[in-house]
Amino acid sequence: MNNSNKMTLGYILGGLLVLILIPSVIYSLTILTDLIYKIDLVQNITIQWIIVLLLLVIGFSFGFSSIIYQNIIGKGGPLEISNIEISPKTKNLVVSGPYRYTRNPMLFGTFLIYLAFATWINSLNAILLVILFIVFMLSVVVRNEEKRLLKDFGNQYEEYRRKTSLFIPWFPRNK
């Protein structure tokens, strides 16, 4: 399979996973947990929709711009599952665009999109599930990805890692 087809397949699989499968799991688990104990997040529907739209706009901005920068500058994609490369790995370290603010702008964007979804569902349980998902991603997936980036880009990545926040934009790590 050539790189273009591999990249397309990677984004189709990634899109299905991120935009359909994971939200479906969050929704299903929310329904189950809300049967036990439900706390609404927002009482005012107008405020609820403002929050949802704001989170979606910022989330999709981070997510899509990170994909564009990763393709144009990095010459590759993000998707690797259990050391199986679904899309070609990035050839260049990307430190511009949304990557100036966070080392994981795609994950940060996804987090905001899922928070928008949880706000739309209007359930504290959904928020807690989103937070659990992100904690898992940061502690397992991102840590493994950082090992690969350190191996592939060495001192260049180490310098970038010292200067740039792991997850939340504009909050640099202390080092």
Task: Give the up-direction half-sphere exposure of residue 172: CA atoms within 13 A in the CB hemisphere.
Answer: 9
Single pTM value for the model: 0.89
Question: By residue range, what is the domain housing residue 83?
Answer: 3-163
| Rounded alpha-carbon distances, angstroms, from residue 163 to 30, 153, 160 | 37, 15, 5
Strand partners, 85: 80
The CATH number that applies at residue 37 is 1.20.120.1630
Residue 92 CB neighbours (<10 A): 14
pLDDT digits (tens, 9 = 90+) for 124-166: 999 999 999 999 999 998 998 899 899 999 999 999 999 999 9
Examine residue 169 and state whether it is found in any structural domain, yes or no.
no
Better-scored residue on pLDDT, 114 or 82: 114
Residue 155, classed as helix, strand or coil, is helix
In the predicted structure, residue 82 carries a pLDDT above the cut 90: no
Does position 102 have pLDDT exceeding 90, yes or no?
Answer: yes
pLDDT single digits (tens) 40-79: 989 999 999 999 999 999 999 999 999 999 989 998 776 5
pLDDT at 83 over 70: no
Instruction: Decide if 15 is inside a domain.
Output: yes
Dihedral over Cα of 78, 82, 83, 87: its sign: negative
Report if residue 171 sits inside a domain.
no
SS3 at position 43: coil
| Token reading at 120 | 């739309």
Q: Residues 62, 98: contact at Cβ < 8 Å? A: yes
State the total domains in the chain.
1
Residue 59 corresponds to which tokens in the numbers above? Answer: 């989330």
Whether residue 174 lies inside any domain: the answer is no
Angle at 159 between CA 78 and CA 11, to 5 degrees: 5
* Residue 170 falls inside a structural domain: no
- Based on its alpha-carbon atoms, the radius of gyration of the chain, rounded to whole angstroms, reads 17
Has residue 29 been placed in a domain? yes
Q: Count of alpha carbons within 13 Å of 128, Cβ hemisphere only?
A: 13
